Amino acid sequence: MEFPMRINKYVAARGFASRREADTLIAAKQVLINGVPAEIGQQVTADDVVELKSKTKAKSYFAYYKGRGVITHSPSEGEVDIAGRLARDYG
C-alpha cells in the first residue's frame, strides 16, 4: 500500500468494507485513527493505528455430505432441503 491514503480507501483495502460502506462507518464515528474518530477524506499514514468499533458478524462454514433424499433446489411440500436440515441439526 502506498501512504498517505484516504481512510475509506484504507478500510476497503484491508477488506473490512467497500469504500461506500467505509464512508458510512466513518460518518457514524465507527472508525478511529489513533483513538480519535476519523473524518471523511482524512489521510492515513503507515504509522497510524486504525480501529473499527463496529461489531462484525461471526461466519460459520460447513462441509456437508448431501445424502440421498436431501433437496438442493427449492423444496416442494414435504421435501427436506439443506437449509432445513442444517437449521434442525445446528439450530
Say what the pLDDT of residue 18 is: 93
What class, spelled out in words, does domain 5-52 have in CATH? alpha beta
Joined together, the cell numbers standing for residue 32 give: 478511529
Say what the pLDDT of residue 44 is: 98
d(CA 44, CA 63): 40
CA dist 88 to 10, 12, 81, 84, 91, Å?
A: 41, 36, 11, 6, 6
Say what the pLDDT of residue 33 is: 98
Model's pTM, two decimal places?
0.61
d(CA 86, CA 43): 45
d(CA 80, CA 6): 49
Give the start-to-end residue ranges of the domains of the chain.
Answer: 5-52, 60-91
SS3 10: helix
Predicted confidence (pLDDT) per residue in 30-86, tens digit: 999 999 999 999 999 999 999 999 766 777 787 878 778 777 888 888 887 888 888
Say what the pLDDT of residue 86 is: 81
Say what the pLDDT of residue 56 is: 67
